[in-house]
Amino acid sequence: MTPAELSAAVLAIVQDELARRGSAGLAGTGEAGALQVGPDDVTLERPKNRDHGDWALNIAMKLAKQLGTNPRELAAALAAGIGAIPGVAGVEVAGPGFINIRLDAGAAGALVKTIVELGENYGHNDALAGQTINLEFVSANPTGPLHIGHTRWAALGDSIARVLTASGAHMVSEFYINDAGNQMDNFGASVLAALKGEPTPENGYPGTYVTALAERVREQHPGILDETPDAALALARETGYQLQLADIRESLEKFNVHFDVWFSERTLHEPDASGTSPVESAIGRLRAQGHVFEEDGAVWVRTTDFGDDKDRVIRRSNGVYTYFASDAAYYLDKGDRGFAHKIYLLGADHHGYVHRLKALAGAAGDDPEKDIEILIGQLVSINGARLSKRAGNIIELDDLREWLGTDALRYSLGRYPADSPLTLDPELLKKRTNDNPVFYVQYAHARTHQVARNAQSSGVDRSAFEPESLVHETENNLVGLLAELPRIVAQSAQLREPHRVARYLEELAGAYHRWYDSCRVTPLGDEPVTDVHRTRLWLNDAAGVVLRNGLGLLGVSAPERM
C-alpha cells in the first residue's frame, strides 16, 4: 500500500464520519457550515519513534474544535474505520488525539514492487499540479566567467527546478542575460584594448580571460584593427559577448545545469512591428494600472503603494530608460508567456531588490504575496580555495568543478538551506569515506548494484515476491523510508528546499547499510534459494531506485560501481 492509497482511504473514512455527524466534508463544497476537508488535510507523517507505528495522523485534532467534540473521542471514532482498511494491522489513539497506524508486513512491503516498476518515475507527485512557474537563477553578466557565488545558485536553482517538475508544476528554468547597458560597452572596450595591447580602460574588465577572449576575437576577425574605431569596438563587443556567453553555457552544462530559456535583455529594447519596444510598452501597461506619474520631466512608478521604500524612476528626464524599466518589461513578459508564478533567485548582495520586485508585481496588477517569490542566497566559501589566475581575484566555477568534481560540489551545495552562510571543506569532499556525505550516499547506491550482481551469479532473481516475508526490523525501517520519497519531494518543492532531499538520502543510505548488514539477499554456502531471497532482491533494487532518483533530483550521478 502506497502512502497515497492509505491517505485516500483515510480521507474516505473522515468524509463518512463527517457526514454521519451531519457535516458535509468534501473540500470546496461551499455549503453553509460545512467543513472543508480534502486530501491536503489528511497528512500522513512518519512517527519519530517507529514503535508508535508506520504512520501518524493529526486530523482529529484539526477537526474536533469545529465539530464541537473532544479530539480523542473523534480520533477513536475514526480509528475504528481506519482499522478496517485492508492492509492495516492496527490503529491506536495516542496523546491528545493522534492516530497511529500500523500496516501489516504484506501491505507495507507491497510498495517495494511498485517502486521497482515505476523506476525513474517513483517520487513524482502532483503537489504542484496546475501551477505554472518561471524560475530565474544565475543570470550573470556575460562579461566574465561564472564564479563561486554563481556556483551555489546554479546548484540550488537547478535542484529546485527538478523538484518542482517532479511535483507536477509546469516549470521553465530561465537565465536572464544582462546584455544591455554600460557594462557591455565597458566589456567591449576592454576586449578591444586587449587586442591593441593597451591597458584596461577605466571601469573595464581586467584579467587574462579578457586577453584570451581578445585572441579568440582576432581569430574570427583577423582584420578587426583595420576597421574604423566604432566598427572595431562593435565587433569586439559583440564577438566577445557571444564567446563569453558560450563559455557560460558550457560551464553550466558541465555542471549538470540546464536552462530551458536564455532570455536576452536586449530584446526588451528592440521595437516590434508597430515600432514600440517592450520597455516602452511596459510604461503604458503600468500607466493603465494607475501607478505611473510624471515629475521633473521623468516618468515614475509609484511603487511605494506596494511597500517599496521609495518610488522608482522608469524613464529619466533625458529620455533614457532605467534598469527598472527592463525589470518591468521582463516581469510583464513572463506573465504574457503564461507564468502565473515567478521565482527569482538572487545573490546575497541583492536584498534591495526584494521590495522593488514585489512592488513591481503589485503595480502590474498581480498579488505581490502570491505571484512573485524572491529567494536570497547567502555567501559560500571554501577553505583553501584556489583563486583564478585567469580571471583575477575570484574563484571560478570551472576551477571548482575540476578541483572538487561536479558530484561533490552539487551535493554539498544542495544539502544546506539557501539562506545559511556556507563554508565547504575541500579535504572532506575529496575523501572516499563515509565521512563524506556524497560518497556515503553514492556508495549505498553502488552497493545495491553489487548486491544485484552477486544475486544474479547466485541464481537469485525477482521471479517471486512475498512482501509479507519482509519482517526484520531493518526491513520494516527501510521500507518505511522508501515510502517517504514522494512526500519529501513534494515538501522540497513547496518550500523550495532541495536540501531536504539530500538529508533524506543520507538517512536512507544509513538504513540500507544496516539492512545490508542484517539481511542476506544471496544464500550462504549450500543454502537453497528461497522466495525470501527473491523478495529481498526486490527490496534491494527498490532502494537503488530511490537512491538514484534522489541523487538525480540534486543533479548528482548515481554510480553503479565505486
Cβ atoms 379, 421 nearer than 8 A = yes
pLDDT at 326: 96
Largest CA distance in the chain: 94
pLDDT at 163: 98
Rounded to whole angstroms, the Cα distance separating 66 from 57 reads 17
Mean pLDDT lowest for which of 111-115, 382-386, 414-418?
382-386
Q: Residue 553 — φ and ψ, nearest 5°?
A: -65, -20
Instruction: Give the helix/strand (H/E) hosting 510.
Output: helix 499-518
- Assigned C-alpha cell, 500: 531536504
Task: Evaluate the CA torsion angle 229, 235, 236, 237 in order and state its sign.
Answer: positive
436 with 526, same domain: the answer is yes
Check whether 263 has a pLDDT greater than 50: yes
Q: Residue 372 — φ and ψ, nearest 5°?
A: -135, 145
Residue 125 lies in a domain: no
Residue 109 lies in a domain: no
Helix (H, G, I), strand (E, B) or coil at 415: coil
| Among the listed residues 267, 265, 279, 258, the one whose alpha carbon sits nearest the alpha carbon of residue 174 | 258
362 with 389, same domain: the answer is no
Strand partners, 88: 103
Instruction: Give the helix/strand (H/E) hosting 329.
Output: helix 323-336
Residue 113 lies in a domain: no
Residue 215 lies in a domain: yes
385 with 246, same domain: the answer is yes
To the nearest 10°, report the CA torsion of 5, 8, 9, 13.
Answer: 170
226 with 145, same domain: the answer is yes
CA 58 to chain centre: 28
Helix (H, G, I), strand (E, B) or coil at 529: coil
The residue with cell 526486490 is 538
Average pLDDT value for residue range 171-192: 96
Q: How confident is the model over 120-148, as pLDDT tens digits?
A: 999 999 999 999 999 999 999 999 999 99
Q: Which amino acid is at 333?
A: D
Measured between alpha carbons, how far is residue 351 from residues 248, 347, 354, 547 in Å?
25, 8, 6, 36
158 with 245, same domain: the answer is yes
7 with 149, same domain: the answer is no
- Assigned C-alpha cell, 9: 482511504
pLDDT at 26: 39
Check whether 418 has a pLDDT greater than 50: yes
Per the prediction, the chain carries an average pLDDT of 93
Measured between alpha carbons, how far is residue 390 from residues 206, 218, 339, 399 in Å?
10, 19, 39, 10
86 with 154, same domain: the answer is no
Mean pLDDT lowest for which of 23-32, 273-282, 292-301, 508-517?
23-32
Instruction: Give the helix/strand (H/E) hosting 118.
Output: helix 105-118
Number of domains in the chain: 4
Check whether 486 has a pLDDT greater than 90: yes
Give the DSSP per-residue string, 266-317.
GGGGS--TTS--HHHHHHHHHHHTT-EEEETTEEEE-GGGGT-SS-EEEE-T
519 with 410, same domain: the answer is no
**Model confidence band, residue 24 (pLDDT cutoffs 50, 70, 90):** very low
Rounded to whole angstroms, the Cα distance separating 419 from 190 reads 35
- Assigned C-alpha cell, 553: 533530483
Check whether 25 has a pLDDT greater than 50: no
359 with 496, same domain: the answer is no
pTM (predicted TM-score): 0.90
Q: How confident is the model over 306-352, as pLDDT tens digits?
A: 989 999 999 999 999 999 999 999 999 999 999 999 999 998 878 88
Structural domain including 44 reads 3-103
Check whether 391 has a pLDDT greater than 70: no
Burial class of residue 450, CB neighbours in 10 A (0-12, 13-18, 19+): middle
372 with 383, same domain: the answer is no
Query: Where residue 92 sits, what CATH number does that domain have?
Result: 3.30.1360.70
386 with 458, same domain: the answer is no
Residue 486 lies in a domain: yes
- Assigned C-alpha cell, 243: 564567446
| First-last CA distance in the chain | 34
**Model confidence band, residue 389 (pLDDT cutoffs 50, 70, 90):** low
Residue 83 lies in a domain: yes
Query: Where residue 350 sits, what CATH number does that domain have?
Result: 3.40.50.620
Query: Where residue 438 sits, what CATH number does that domain have?
Result: 1.10.730.10
- Assigned C-alpha cell, 301: 512608478
**Model confidence band, residue 287 (pLDDT cutoffs 50, 70, 90):** very high
Rounded to whole angstroms, the Cα distance separating 384 from 393 reads 14
Residue 49 lies in a domain: yes
Residue 351 lies in a domain: yes
Check whether 30 has a pLDDT greater than 50: no
pLDDT at 271: 94
99 with 46, same domain: the answer is yes
Rounded to whole angstroms, the Cα distance separating 378 from 413 reads 11
